Amino acid sequence: MKMDEPPRSQGSQGGEEEGEKSFVVPRPFSLVAELTYQCPLRCPYCSNPLDYGSSEYKRELGTEDWLRVFSQARQMGVLQLGLSGGEPLLRKDLELLVEKATDLGLYTTLVTAGTILTLERAKRLREAGLDHVQISIQDSRAAESDRIAGIKSFDKKIAAAKLVKELGFALTLNFVLHRHNLDRIEEILELAEVLEADRVELANTQYYGWALQNRNALIPTREQLVKAEQAVMNAQKRRKMPMGILYVIPDYYAEYPKPCMSGWGQRTLVVAPNGNALPCQAAGVIPNLELFNIKEYSLEWIWFESPTFNRFRGTDWMLEPCRSCERREVDWGGCRCQAFLLSQDASATDPVCHLSPNHHQIVTVREGVGEEVVSFAYRQFNS
Ligand code: SF4
Ligand code: SF4
């Protein structure tokens, strides 16, 4: 249904008649606005698409498009807005976007690498109403952080974190964990305490996109993970961070998958820089998944009615062993993108699950960890 047509009633899984609903579609809680895929950094685990520099993504949404999306999202009940990328600070209209989102009553978070945050910009964003800043740091040590980022950037990130605190924003520090920094988890947590972070996100690398290309260079050993998890538990007991430490478990060493995005199309909407709306940042890798653009369709229709958001909602789409599994509404069968990338079938059980017929692929990778020394394939666009 195009934007000039009236929105339909909400609440059913696509194509079902009233009274035959097997899954009541919840309202979205958060919107991730990927404002641009441009970024000065080149992280080898970047979650942006491999073809992020293609003409497809160079046509970025304009200010009015984003403001319409924010307004539609708020009308649907969205409370949290993540302004993400790429590097969202590259958008010259960021202050205006924040101001309007704040006026709508959205809680706004800027997710940034921090390298181009100036005092003037930070003040303007504060005046516009920005609530929360998340800064990604690659390691506790400058040389190592710069090596992963692919450019010299650590000192600027530290300066940005200090600025964020000085201006009174809530500060989260994001660290992506892998073989090359897990042994410094205590130093990483100490750095977060020194910088007075309100919250820390320690996310073990998820192997999609660039990270999948770099999997052999990034995947840690079980011994590294055991030590790191103990260090995280110790730090959690010290309770230095008011909003806590979020530790995202490593898929490849887990028995069961995570409930990816809290379930497909159940909590979060992602809008890519070109306006395509997706249930998660990586969903574009799934073939034959028709994507709908906010320039042509209302966000409400995309969320409630589009085949994209209904494709893997609930449990009706599941195959065995998920279909009859008692955990099917706990983890929702895991990640659809990972299922496709590892088994070439987006409807399959996530191979991370030990019950998946494709789980041997995970075991093979796990057992081979550390055998090869591999250099990074840094994020770059090869046209
Ligand atoms: S992961 Fe690294 S390269 Fe990718 S958007 Fe974030 S900072 Fe930029
Ligand atoms: S079989 Fe499916 S539902 Fe059951 S634990 Fe594994 S991924 Fe989850």
**Ligand closest to the CA atom of residue 42:** 1
Average pLDDT, the chain: 91
**Ligand closest to the CA atom of residue 47:** 1
**Torsion sign across C-alpha atoms 144, 90, 100, 274:** negative
Q: How far is CA 314 from the centre of its chain?
A: 21
| pLDDT of 111 | 98
| pLDDT of 11 | 40
| pLDDT of 289 | 95
Nearest to 300 by CA among 2, 55, 42, 21: 2
pLDDT at 21 over 60: no
Give the dihedral of Cα atoms 257, 262, 266, 270; nearest 10 deg: -100
Phi then psi for residue 283, to 5 deg, are: -60, -20
CA dist 312 and 333 (Å) reads 10
| pLDDT of 18 | 45
**Torsion sign across C-alpha atoms 293, 288, 28, 132:** negative
Higher-pLDDT residue of 157 and 57 is 157
Give the global pTM. Answer: 0.92
Q: Whose CA is nearest to atom 8 of ligand 2?
A: 333
- Counting ligand 2 atoms within 8 A of each CB, the residue from 322, 345, 354 with the most, and so the one to mutate, is 322
- Counting ligand 2 atoms within 8 A of each CB, the residue from 317, 332, 335, 355 with the most, and so the one to mutate, is 355
> What pLDDT digit, counting tens, does each position of 94-151 carry?
999 999 999 999 999 999 999 999 999 999 999 999 999 999 999 999 999 999 999 9
> What pLDDT digit, counting tens, does each position of 214-238 carry?
999 999 999 999 999 999 988 888 7
How many angstroms separate the Cα of 3 from the Cα of each of 19, 272, 293? Answer: 27, 18, 10
Comparing 2-11, 87-96, 244-253, 277-286, the range with the smallest average pLDDT is 2-11
**Ligand closest to the CA atom of residue 260:** 2
292-293/276-278 β-pairing: antiparallel
Using CB atoms within 10 A of its CB, is residue 139 exposed (0-12), middle (13-18) or buried (19+)? buried
Helix (H, G, I), strand (E, B) or coil at 123: helix
| pLDDT of 249 | 83
Residue type, 114: G
On whether the CB atoms of residues 345 and 339 are closer than 8 A, the answer is yes
CA dist 70 and 81 (Å) reads 8
Phi then psi for residue 109, to 5 deg, are: -125, 130
Q: Is 198 in the pocket of ligand 2 (CB under 6 A)?
A: no
Q: What one-character-per-residue DSSP string does 284-340 give?
A: GGSTT---EETTTB-HHHHHHT-HHHHTT-SSTTPPTTTTT-TTTTTTTTS-HHHHH
| pLDDT of 53 | 86
CA dist 90 and 94 (Å) reads 8
In the chain, % of residues over pLDDT 90: 82
pLDDT at 327 over 50: yes
Phi then psi for residue 34, to 5 deg, are: -85, 95
> What pLDDT digit, counting tens, does each position of 292-315 carry?
999 999 999 999 999 999 999 999
Structure tokens at 225: 């993970």
| pLDDT of 347 | 96
pLDDT at 171 over 50: yes
Structure tokens at 143: 């040389």
pLDDT at 156 over 80: yes
How many Cβ atoms from other residues are within 10 Å of residue 378's Cβ?
A: 17
| pLDDT of 184 | 96
On whether the CB atoms of residues 202 and 177 are closer than 8 A, the answer is yes
In sequence order, which residues have a C-beta less than 8 Å from that of residue 92 and are 6 or more positions away?
none
Comparing 8-17, 187-196, 256-265, the range with the smallest average pLDDT is 8-17
| pLDDT of 10 | 39
Q: Whose CA is nearest to atom 7 of ligand 2?
A: 333
- Counting ligand 1 atoms within 8 A of each CB, the residue from 136, 213, 214, 380 with the most, and so the one to mutate, is 136
pLDDT at 14 over 70: no
CA dist 269 and 280 (Å) reads 7
Nearest to 111 by CA among 78, 88, 80: 88
